[in-house]
Structure 1
Amino acid sequence: MPDTMAPSGQTAQGYRFGLRLEERGQVVAVGDGIAWVRGLRSAQMDEVLRFDDGSSGLVFQLGAQRLGAILLSQTHRLTAGMGARRSGARLTVGVGAGLPGRVVDPVGVPLDDLPPPAVETRMPLEASAPAILERDFVDAPLYTGNKIVDTMIPIGKGQRQLLIGDDGTGKSALALDVVANQRGRGVLCVVVLIGQTRAAVAATVDTLRSVGALDYTVVVVAEANALPGLRYLAPFAGCAIAEHWMRHGHDVLVVYDDLTRHAQSYRELSLLLQRPPGREAYPSDVFYLHARLLERSTVLAPACGGGSMTALPIVETRLGEISAYIPTNLISITDGQIYFDSKLFAAGFLPAIDIGRSVSRIGGKAQANAIKRAAARIRLDYLQFLELELFARFGTRLEASVEDSLRRGRLLRELLKQDRLSPLSEAEQLAWLLAYGEGLLDAVAPDQVAATVPRLFAAAGAHRLGLDTPKDAWLAALRAALKATP
């Protein structure tokens, strides 16, 4: 068989015959997104297989007599007895400047009814995490626009911050708020949606488009009805896209929504491939699954590109149980967690972040000095207020100092409330922090906070106040704004 062909319209100079050897196998069984193949003894793990009907698969299990492949694409003609052959290639995804604004699946196929995106090169989905010598310290803040996060649970560029809580408590909403707040900040975003319904995916894309965030965001989607192999590969595809930008010196934010469904897809594939089950029927390497994914998020040293990849993985709990298998795995892998409480959500405290259970292990090192100084006692004051409020429910007589602490605590609770898709700038964060910390809002009733705080924000903008503005200038402007007639 000829191994080369002359291009159309050109001579056959240099055209010669030769042998082309190809190892071929046969499909033994197909079902539930898995194909069992025999006869491909030279196949390697994570190698792409091609089937005669046009379907494709990825080698995921090697056996003495047959191998198991997860299907990446499947036609109705794929049945037992179908021929299979090796491709000799690993699975890659197209990356480059043409991806922002697009919605693609984990193998790069567009899902937004537009032509395929222009790609610069292709990146393997599985890659080693950057070596220690390639990494740098987390020293730049990633502003979320959220009052609670930016002041008490700060996130730095290159950090891995877990969003954890029950279903329907606002985890995805906060993640989208963070993505929306990166507009104009030079941060590229990747949103990975795993196992969600088509309606939920469409709502997320519409939200990103309505706030102008889709211009710098690529959405990687593996819907609930997609093949389990695609749901398993979705976060690795998003990570590969982000890693390419990071290697080229960009700051990137990746949202994995969510890794609970990802672990469930991996468990489904593993059980179908007859791997031995472990705790809660998950395979024993499920910890390594997420560790090798999240370890790729970091800050690169200037000699290695100088970019960063910040990860916001989302995990779901049941009835607030954070000691379950997958949540504890992810807590131990990440650099902190933001915990969402269903009771706070039901009480109308939005975002429903439990400040006592939430922590950022390295973000404070990247926090702006002005905000760090102004927020130094905010967390402690609020936690003390919660204890005093619980004690005050017994109806005992309270001292004047305790009454004052309760009043300031209720004021702070109202200040921390924030609507969706209403991120604050750094100057606006500093405005309310200084006003509260210096007692400028002590005369304001809690039910008047929502009407008073915008005046502080307007003063910060009118006087062009910033993080480097002297504190005296800040206080003078804030006092004038509060004295002015609304």
Structure 2
Amino acid sequence: MSSVIIEKIKSEIANLDTGSTTTDIGVVTAVGDGIAEIDGLDKAEMMEMVSFAVSDEQSLEETLKSDKAVFGLVLNLEEDTVKVVILGESDLVKEGMRVMRTNKLLSIPVGKEIVGRVVSPLGEAIDGKGTIETDRNMPIERVAYGVMDRSGVNEPIHTGIKAIDSMIPIGRGQRELIIGDRQTGKTTIAIDTIINQKYEPADKRPVCIYVAVGQKRSKTASIMARLEEAGAMEYTTIVATSASEASPLLFLAPFAGAAIGEYFMEQGKDVLVVFDDLSKHANAYRQMSLLLRRPPGREAYPGDIFYLHSRLLERSAKLSAELGAGSITALPIIETQEGDVSAYIPTNVISITDGQIFLDTDLFNKGIRPALDVGISVSRVGSSAQTKAMKKVAGKIRLELAQFRELEAFMQFASDLDDDTKARIDSGRKYVELLKQGQNAPVPFQRQVVAIYAANNGIFDGAPVESTSKIESEFLNFIDRDRKDILSTIETGRELTDEVVDKLNKSLADFKEAHKELYGA
């Protein structure tokens, strides 16, 4: 009888719910420069969030749920301690303060509610439009999709910039670097690309994410105003960090942008992510790594600086049909010093990406904008990411411009030129004028095709170089007014059929006849 009672008591004890849980709690042993050294968190994981007990009036659990919670991110796992970067007000963290593990890796709230908003790298709304309520979180750091999960890049993402769409086409799922000195129009190209997506059909329009890494707040505000004015904020999210914020937030911003992009990609959508810029990102990571006492390497960058950018940019992909055929197209921006593309960070990112758009200061100062250096700019995806219509008309441009650059160099030494050389130089100058474009004025794909076709077929012949822009504008207005069916046919069919070519040739003849004054006749 007694054994039955004992067994009964043992069973009751085993099933007793005390309501208590085991929590790992550590103590801050040192703090400074936004880094806290913590003792007692032996089981902490890399990239795990920890919570500091900044209020004496609240328990750690209450602090974790309150608005006053200050979080840290575990980045160094050492023999006796862990080193944590503080993600909030570092002044609130003091030596001797208690710290609790959250058992959660760093993640960001995602959902369709985030579109049209400005958020911090932690997913908090910073645009004054109220909190963002979402029901899903995505990890900030995640392994990129493998080779077998991807498919080829074969669909274009139109930038609206004639020089890029014709000669350096970008495909959905590609990583195309925009590189150049400061004030050469790098951000302008990225913003124009975002604005140009409004011309895409709603079902094919990419979700756009602009990541501002350490930019001036005034610049981020002006970009937001520009996007709102163009009607582009309705499909765009801005992840913003300012130059005055702590380096850990600058380090996390591009990864937050990639995590938001992955959420939409996994729903089968196309995504465009702009990282502006990865030079500041590398500097923030260097600063953080030196404070964490990691050994410095070349130019004082840590040894894993290449891995930092490669694991970020590898997350852009074109997924296979089985996984929904979504994509992330990445446009990282790098700022060079005095046009030096052979420096450490530029060469790293050039080797990771699928091509680069190089912007030249001299061309910019000459008024050739976008200041694209066609000679060293390249897209490794090439014409497989172009529509048939653009492929058909764009082949001649690169050849004409390459020949023009050679002749331009030769012209400095030769005083007497034959008529054929003069004609080629004149033609090259007109192509340069044709490819010039103003800021915030992206050109829809079908209008680009018509303008380039007209240039290839002699619309500028006999006209002075100065009239190129005027003739292009008048011809497109003429097509808009009298031959609008040409544009709609190219837009829907995406190729130049014999019927469209005949209509374009007739339109060219009619235009020249009706606008003789533009040719000095």
TM-score tier, shorter chain, comes to: over 0.9
Of 245, 262, 266 in structure 2, the residue corresponding to residue 226 of structure 1 is 245
Q: Which amino acid aligns with 1:46?
A: M
Identity %: 42
Pair 1:83 & 2:88 matched: no
Higher helix share: 2
Which sits farther off after the overlay, 378-387 or 313-322? 378-387
Aligned-residue offset at 1:211? 0.8
Q: Which amino acid aligns with 2:239?
A: V
Report if the CA contact (8 A) 2:34-2:90 is conserved: no
**In the alignment, which residue of structure 1 is the partner of 2:443?**
424
Q: Kindly provide the CA deviation profile for residues 138-190 of structure 1, in whole angstroms up to 9, marking residues without a partner as x.
A: 11111111010000001011100000000110000110000000014211100
SS in structure 2 at match of 1:202: helix
Report if the CA contact (8 A) 2:208-2:236 is conserved: yes
Of 298, 301, 309 in structure 1, the residue corresponding to residue 317 of structure 2 is 298
**In the alignment, which residue of structure 1 is the partner of 2:502?**
472
Of 114, 119, 127 in structure 1, the residue corresponding to residue 142 of structure 2 is 127
**In the alignment, which residue of structure 1 is the partner of 2:197?**
182
Pair 1:150 & 2:169 matched: no
RMSD of aligned C-alpha atoms? Answer: 1.5
SS in structure 1 at match of 2:458: coil
Q: Kindly provide the CA deviation profile for residues 184-219 of structure 1, in whole angstroms up to 9, marking residues without a partner as x.
A: 421110000000111111111111111111110000
Q: Kindly provide the CA deviation profile for residues 397-428 of structure 1, in whole angstroms up to 9, marking residues without a partner as x.
A: 11111111011111111111100111111221
Of 245, 262, 265 in structure 1, the residue corresponding to residue 281 of structure 2 is 262
Give, in whole Å, the separation in 2 of the partners of 1:120 and 1:83: 30
SS in structure 1 at match of 2:240: strand
Which sits farther off after the overlay, 241-250 or 429-438? 429-438
Give, in whole Å, the separation in 2 of the partners of 1:480 and 1:299: 44
Aligned-residue offset at 1:395? 4.0
Report if the CA contact (8 A) 2:199-2:444 is conserved: no
**In the alignment, which residue of structure 2 is the partner of 1:9?**
none
Pair 1:30 & 2:26 matched: no
Q: Which amino acid aligns with 2:250?
A: R
SS in structure 1 at match of 2:442: coil
Aligned-residue offset at 1:16? 5.2
Q: Which amino acid aligns with 1:167?
A: R
Pair 1:173 & 2:188 matched: yes
For residues 236-255 of structure 1, what are the structure 2 equivalents within 5 Å?
236-255=255-274
SS in structure 2 at match of 1:320: coil
Q: Kindly provide the CA deviation profile for residues 204-253 of structure 1, in whole angstroms up to 9, marking residues without a partner as x.
A: 11111111111100000111111211100000000000111001011110
SS in structure 2 at match of 1:373: helix
SS in structure 2 at match of 1:323: coil
Q: Kindly provide the CA deviation profile for residues 1-36 of structure 1, in whole angstroms up to 9, marking residues without a partner as x.
A: xxxxxxxxxxxxx99533322221111222222111
Change in CA separation of 1:120 and 1:127 when aligned onto 2, cut-off 3 Å: same
Aligned-residue offset at 1:74? 2.1
For residues 363-442 of structure 1, what are the structure 2 equivalents within 5 Å?
363-442=382-461
Q: Which amino acid aligns with 1:396?
A: S
**In the alignment, which residue of structure 1 is the partner of 2:41?**
40
Change in CA separation of 1:275 and 1:219 when aligned onto 2, cut-off 3 Å: same
SS in structure 1 at match of 2:28: strand
TM (normalized to structure 2)? 0.89
Give, in whole Å, the separation in 2 of the partners of 1:266 and 1:76: 21
Aligned-residue offset at 1:64? 1.0
TM (normalized to structure 1)? 0.95
SS in structure 1 at match of 2:188: helix
Q: Which amino acid aligns with 1:432?
A: A
Stretches of structure 1 that go unaligned for 5 or more consecutive residues are 1-13
**In the alignment, which residue of structure 2 is the partner of 1:7?**
none
**In the alignment, which residue of structure 1 is the partner of 2:115?**
100
Of 102, 114, 117 in structure 1, the residue corresponding to residue 129 of structure 2 is 114
Of 361, 364, 375 in structure 2, the residue corresponding to residue 345 of structure 1 is 364
Change in CA separation of 1:128 and 1:211 when aligned onto 2, cut-off 3 Å: same
Count of equivalent residues: 473
Q: Kindly provide the CA deviation profile for residues 287-336 of structure 1, in whole angstroms up to 9, marking residues without a partner as x.
A: 11010110111111111011111000000100000000000000000000
Give, in whole Å, the separation in 1 of the partners of 2:159 and 2:458: 26
